[in-house]
Structure 1
Amino acid sequence: MSRLDSVIRRLTAQRAGLNWAAEQLQGTPGDVLELGLGNGRTYDHLRTVTPDRRIWVIDRNLNCHPDCVPPQDDFLQGDADAMLSKLAEAGPQVILAHYDLGTGVAADNRVLAEGLAPLVAKVMLPGGLILSDQALPGFEQLPEPCDIPKGRYNFYRVA
């Protein structure tokens, strides 16, 4: 599979998964967390499918498209571990988290995800959903919803 085909497959799974999660959580209170803003495409999509929810965004840098800049009060700029700890000070408040952090090096991404998973758990409400392109230990893995190919994206429910 070419790299172009792979990214199209990943983004298609990501969009379908976010749409599914937003639908599953309709009527359930809680905020959204976007871990890794990047260009802001996923954040922009989350604004569309969860319009009545506060969306927290964590990233080291604000390098997104100008149309995708989160409100200053919702953007936690810095290393993910420190920003998750800061967000956790208010207690669990997130019902949907999208984990999209990575370095481009698979082994490094695994170490990062393993280290951040316990911190993500601290901000999550019971019954919340986490979507991730990385495996996150410590959460109940769900089968892929919709027509998402097995193993293309990870779906978790918080106990």
Structure 2
Amino acid sequence: MSRLDSMLRRLSAQRDGLNWAADRIRDQPGDVLDLGLGNGRTYDHLREILPDRRIWVIDRMLQCHPSCTPPEADFLEGEAEPMLARLAGQDARIALAHYDLGFGIKEQDVAEAARLSPALAQVMAPGGLIISGQPLVGFEQLTGPDSIAPDRYLFYRA
């Protein structure tokens, strides 16, 4: 599979997974968390599908497309672990989290996701959903939408 085809498959899986999860949390109270803003495409999609939810964003630095800049009060700039602790200290309860942090080196990304899983658990609302490109630990793994190949995107319940 070409890198272009792989990217298209990943983006389609991400969109389908987020839409699937948004439908399942419609009646559940709580905020949304985008871990890894990047260019802002996912954040922009979350704004569109969950317009009445507060969307927290954590990233090392703000470098997204100008149209995708989160409000200053909702952007936590810095390393994920202390930012998750800060969010937990504000008693935020997350109904839906999208985990998209990484260095681009699979072994490092998997280790980082495992290391950050307990901090993520501290902010999740009971029954909240997590959509992740990396395996997480300490959560109930779910089967996502049929349109997504197994292990392309991972789905969890807190």
What TM-score results when the alignment is normalised by the length of structure 1?
A: 0.97
Q: Find the residue that maps to 1:8 and give its secondary structure.
A: helix
Matches of 1:47 and 1:146, distance apart in 2 = 24
Which amino acid in structure 1 is aligned with residue 97 of structure 2? A
Kindly state the Cα deviation for residue 90 of structure 1 after the two structures are TM-superposed: 2.3
Aligned residue-pair number: 158
Contact 2:37 2:43 in 1 (8 A): yes
Q: What letter corresponds to residue 27 of structure 1 in structure 2?
A: D
Give the structure 2 partner of residue 97 of structure 1.
97
Give the conservation status (yes or no) of the 8 Å contact 1:76–1:83. yes
Task: Check whether the contact 1:32–1:53 (CA below 8 A) recurs between aligned residues.
Answer: yes
2: CA distance, partners of 1:80 / 1:72: 17
Partner residue, 1:15: 15
| Structure 2 gap ranges (5+) | none
Measured in 2, the distance between the counterparts of 1:66 and 1:146 equals 34
> 2:44 aligns to what?
44
- Root-mean-square deviation (Å): 0.8
How far 1:136 moved relative to its partner? 0.3
How much does 1:40 deviate? 0.0
Cα deviation digits, residues 107-154 of structure 1 (max 9, x gap) = 110111011000000000001000000000110000122311111100
Are the equivalent residues in 2 in contact too, given 1:31–1:55 (CA < 8 A)?
A: yes
Question: Would you say the 8 A contact 2:20–2:144 is kept in 1?
Answer: no
> Offset of 1:86 from its aligned partner?
0.4
Q: Distance in 1 between matches of 2:121 and 2:92?
A: 8
1:32-51 C-alpha deviation (Å, 9 max, x unpaired):
00000000000000000000
**Conserved in 2, the CA contact under 8 Å of 1:16 and 1:146?**
no
> Residue in 2 aligned with 1:80?
80
Give 2:139's aligned amino acid.
Answer: F
The CA deviation string for residues 80-125 of structure 1, in whole angstroms up to 9 with x for no partner, is: 0110010011235100000000111001101110110000000000
Partner of 2:109: 109
Question: Structure 1: 5+ residue runs without aligned partners?
Answer: none
TM-score by length of 2: 0.98
How far apart, in 1, do the equivalents of 2:90 and 2:76 lie?
14
| Kept after mapping to 2: 8 A contact 1:20/1:146 | no
Q: Structure 1 stretches (4+) deviating beyond 4 angstroms?
A: none
Amino acid at match of 2:114: E
